[in-house]
Amino acid sequence: MPAVIEAAPAKLNLALHVTGRRADGYHLLDSLVGFAGAGDVVTLKPGPLSLRIEGPFAPGLSAEDDNLCLRAARLAGGRAAITLTKNLPVASGIGGGSADAAAVLRGLARMGHALPGNPELLGADVPVCLSSGPARMQGVGEVVTPLPPLPAIPLVLVNPGVAVSTPRVFAAMERRDNPGLPPIPRFDGLADLANWLGQTRNDLEPAALSIAPVIGQVLEALRANGAAFARMSGSGATCFGLFDRADHARIAANVLKQHGWWSVATELAPMPAPR
Ligand code: C5P
């Protein structure tokens, strides 16, 4: 059997409202999730379970037993030699481990293993990353409603190289009972999406900014370099900027790299990632 290759695109919380808190401490969310054209790549070959990590962010990650790729494979009862090409910064609010775990599950499904019924055990973002297409995410992440395609808007991702702890950001949040998202229409283009996003928030952004003020500089720099809309994704520290033109996004990504930040120009993926 030939190798199975699965894209693990970066997840973007285009809007993220925190609407409550469960008795177990987990937070209730209402989020518009999109995916980027950039991401990690997972390759699976039949064989005993193993994991090799390569790529620019491989040094930040251990291939030990608790790696999410291995945990995903064990949850699915799958046997495969897994190679993870880690192109995205680790622990940075854009899915990362969840996207990789979901890609392993999708790859194993193509090799004949059933998808586990409880992928959220691997992480709150794994259910939405399994579909890797535009979706509304609710509950603590386990309620995923697929949405129509998003416009292919040029996009810049920026990470200033500070790891922000997700539990710490949730703990630093002042309000945990915010209203949910307004109705989500079908978006025509940048102006339409930016206008809707302007009525929404990432409720984790103020808390993350209080822990890592550099996130504020990233957002300012995105806006100063032409982003029509800029926001932090997830619990940070990665931020995204939406641009009117792909060449403007590329120029902005190059300028932002000069701050010593990781930055990439890509686009909002209209549909689930192709295989
Ligand atoms: O599930 P995941 O590993 O993404 O969550 C990391 C941490 O973020 C959790 O242990 C919890 O403290 C916090 N979290 C939360 N509510 C969510 C998702 C995560 O409080 N819906």
- Of the candidates 40, 100, 125, 203, the residue annotated as catalytic is 125
Cα of 168 from ligand 1 centre, angstroms: 10
Q: Mutate which of 164, 166, 203 to test ligand 1's pocket (most atoms within 8 Å of Cβ)? A: 166
Considering the candidates 11, 30, 40, 203, report the single residue annotated as catalytic. Answer: 11
Mean pLDDT, the chain, integer: 96
Chosen domain end from 146, 177, 196 = 146
Q: Tell me: the pLDDT tens digits for 156-165? A: 999 999 999 9
Tell me, what's the pLDDT at 162? Answer: 95
Q: Are residues 11 and 131 in the same domain?
A: yes
Q: Is residue 124 part of a domain?
A: yes
Known binding residues for ATP are 89-99
Final residue of a structural domain among 115, 146, 177: 146
Domain finish residue from 119, 146, 173: 146
**Per the domain annotation, does 274 fall within a domain?**
no
Each residue's pLDDT tens digit, 218-267: 999 999 999 999 999 999 999 999 999 999 999 999 999 999 999 999 99
Q: Point out the ligand 1 atom lying closest to the alpha carbon of residue 170.
A: 20
Q: Which two tokens stand for residue 235?
A: 């619990």
Amino acid letter, 171:
A
Same domain (yes/no): 36, 162: no
Kindly state whether residue 69 falls inside one of the protein's structural domains.
yes
| Angle at alpha carbon of residue 11, lines to 250 and 251, rounded to 5° | 5
129 plus 204 within the same structural domain: no
Q: Identify the domain containing residue 35 by its residue range.
A: 4-146
Q: Which residue has the tokens 């689930």?
A: 272
Banded model confidence at residue 274, pLDDT cuts 50, 70, 90: low
pLDDT band at 270 (very low <50, low <70, confident <90, very high): confident
Number of domains comprising the chain:
2
Residue 249 in domain: yes
Asked whether residue 8 falls in the same domain as residue 141, the answer is yes
Would residue 110 count as lying in a domain?
A: yes
Query: Is 257 annotated as catalytic?
Result: no
Question: Does 275 fall in a domain?
Answer: no
**Between these two residues, 270 and 110, which has the higher pLDDT value?**
110
> Domain with 179 in it: what CATH number?
3.30.70.890
Cβ count near 121 (within 10 Å): 13
pLDDT at 272: 81
Mutational pocket test of ligand 1: of 16, 26, 33, the residue with most ligand atoms within 8 Å of the beta carbon = 26
Helix then strand count (H, E) for the chain reads 8, 10
Do 17 and 139 belong to one domain?
A: yes
Q: By alpha-carbon position, which residue is closest to atom 11 of ligand 1?
A: 167
Residues 106 and 175 in one domain: no
State ipTM.
0.93
Q: Which residues in 145-167 are b (16+ Cβ under 10 Å) and which e?
A: eebeebbebbbbbbbbebebebe
In a domain, 142, yes or no: yes
Q: Count CA within 13 A, CB hemisphere, residue 219.
A: 17
Residues 67 and 194 in one domain: no
Residues whose beta carbon lies within 6 Å of some atom of ligand 1? 26-27, 29, 123-125, 140-141, 166-167, 170
- Does residue 120 share a domain with residue 60? yes
CATH of the domain at 126: 3.30.230.10
Helix segments in the chain, DSSP class H: 68-75, 97-110, 126-131, 166-172, 190-197, 205-211, 214-224, 246-257
pLDDT for residue 1 = 79
**Do 131 and 177 belong together in one domain?**
no
40 is catalytic: no
Answer whether 0.90 is exceeded by the pTM: yes
Residue 275 is predicted with a pLDDT of 55
Paired strand residues for 156: 241, 265
User: Quick one: which atom of ligand 1 is closest to the CA of 124?
Assistant: 1
Q: Are residues 137 and 252 in the same domain?
A: no
Cβ-in-10-Å burial (0-12, 13-18, 19+) of 258 comes to exposed
Same domain, 139 and 72: yes
Cα 189 to Cα 44, 152, 233, distances in angstroms: 36, 8, 20
pLDDT tens, residue by residue, 24-75:
999 999 999 999 999 999 999 999 999 999 999 999 899 888 999 999 999 9
60 and 185 together in one domain: no
